[in-house]
Each structure stands twice: as C-alpha cells, then as structure tokens.
C-alpha cells in the first residue's frame, strides 16, 4: 500500500484529499483482484455485492484515519448495515434520476470528529454502480463538506448530484 499521510490536525478538506488520492491509487487494483468473485456473487447478492467490494477497498485507509484520531460521529446501532467499517447505509441516498440502470450513484456521508471530539465536517463517498450486472462505471470518490447537520448534508448532496447529472 502507498504511504498515506494522515495527520491528526488535518481539516476535513485535507483529509478528503488524502482519501481521494488513496481511492484513485487503489480502487481499480482492488476491483481487478476481486472481479471474478464479485461477478459470480452478483446474481445472488445483487447490490450487496458492492458492499463486499467496499469491504475490501476502504478498511485499510479507514484504519489509518482512526489511528490519527478521526472518528465517525455516528453511533452504530444493532440493526445497522455498515460497509467498509465506516459507511452506514442509513446515511446514504440513491436516486434514479442521477443516472441510468447501468450507471447509478449512491452517496454516503460520514460526519467526522477529530481527537478533541470537534466535528470538523463531513466526508461524502460516492459509488457509481450498475443494477444490471456487477460494474463500477466510474471511480468511487470522497468529497469533503463543511456541513455537519443531516438536513444540510442531504440538501448539499442533492444539489451536487443534480447539477452533475
């Protein structure tokens, strides 16, 4: 794995940049290494197969983020579906009008606090995917936001996605 330089004093934008660089360097390699298995699992597990991919992609970088004092402010509940150790499915949105059946987008959000328990902002995680077969048509990406309130985060995601589509 490439050396990832996460520092405890980073802003949400600096943290987002490091995570984005990690994704750019690793998403395709992790996908290629696991593609046969994921394609075979997709007919049975459908969308959950993307979670299996993210369970391989995200934990190495999330471990480094946590080691440097950053945490998700979200408390995991017993019935939560958590992907990649940090993405709570209930903190995500997917809208049909953001793409096509071959290129859907789901956007997760993680409100981040630092080692001092200060909420420093939110990381959005966008995953492009297909509902027809196992396919990731665009690189996953992290985007930093200053917003930390759920209603404001959702509003910002909708604004971003509807202006990109």
For residue 4, tell me if it sits in a domain: no
Residue 80: domain span: 12-164
For residue 81, tell me if it sits in a domain: yes
For residue 2, tell me if it sits in a domain: no
Mean pLDDT of 70-88: 94
Give Cβ neighbours of residue 78 (< 8 Å, ≥ 6 apart): none
For residue 5, tell me if it sits in a domain: no
* Per-residue tokens: 163: 């202006």
pLDDT digits (tens, 9 = 90+) for 101-114: 788 899 999 999 99
For residue 130, tell me if it sits in a domain: yes
Give the number of domains in the chain.
1
Give Cβ neighbours of residue 113 (< 8 Å, ≥ 6 apart): 70, 71, 72, 73, 119, 120
For residue 27, tell me if it sits in a domain: yes
Evaluate whether 18 touches 4 at the Cβ level (below 8 Å).
Answer: yes
pLDDT digits (tens, 9 = 90+) for 105-161: 999 999 999 999 999 999 999 999 998 999 999 999 999 999 999 999 999 999 988
């Amino acid at each position: 794995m490439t050396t990832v330089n996460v520092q405890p004093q980073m802003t949400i934008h600096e943290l987002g940049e490091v995570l984005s660089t990690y994704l750019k360097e690793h998403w395709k390699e992790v996908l290629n290494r696991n593609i046969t298995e994921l394609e075979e699992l997709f007919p049975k597990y459908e969308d959950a197969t993307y979670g299996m991919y993210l369970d391989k992609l995200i934990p190495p970088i999330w471990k480094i983020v946590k080691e440097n004092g950053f945490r998700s402010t979200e408390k995991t509940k017993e019935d939560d579906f958590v992907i990649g150790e940090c993405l709570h499915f209930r903190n995500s949105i997917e809208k049909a009008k953001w793409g096509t059946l071959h290129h859907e987008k789901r956007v997760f959000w993680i409100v981040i606090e630092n080692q001092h328990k200060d909420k420093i902002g939110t990381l959005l995680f966008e995953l492009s995917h297909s509902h027809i077969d196992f396919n990731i048509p665009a690189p996953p990406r992290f985007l930093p936001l200053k917003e930390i309130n759920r209603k404001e985060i959702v509003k910002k995601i909708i604004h971003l996605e509807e202006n990109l589509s």
